[in-house]
Amino acid sequence: MFKFEELHVYQDSLEFSKNMYLLTKKWPREETYGLIDQLKRAAVSISLNIAEGSSRTKKDFDHFLSLFRGSCYECVAVLQTAKKLGYVNESEFSSTYEECEKIARKISALKLSLR
* Residue 1, domain member (yes or no): no
Name the residue range of residue 35's domain: 6-113
Per 3-state DSSP, what percentage of the chain is helix, strand, and coil (rounded to 5)?
Answer: 85, 0, 15
Ranges under pLDDT 50 in the chain:
none
Spell out a b/e string for 62-81, using b for 16 or more CB atoms within 10 Å of the CB, else e. bebbebbbbbbebbbebbeb
Please tell me whether the overall predicted TM-score, pTM, comes out greater than 0.95 for this model: no
User: Looking at residue 68, what is its pLDDT?
Assistant: 87
Beta-carbon count within 10 A of 13 CB? 27
Instruction: Give how many domains the chain has, as a whole number.
Output: 1
CATH of the domain at 64: 1.20.1440.60
User: Looking at residue 1, what is its pLDDT?
Assistant: 86
Beta-carbon count within 10 A of 50 CB? 25
> Can you give the length of the chain in residues?
115
Q: Give the distance from CA 38 to its chain's centroid.
A: 11
Q: pLDDT of 22-36, one tens digit each? A: 999 999 999 999 999
* Residue 89, domain member (yes or no): yes
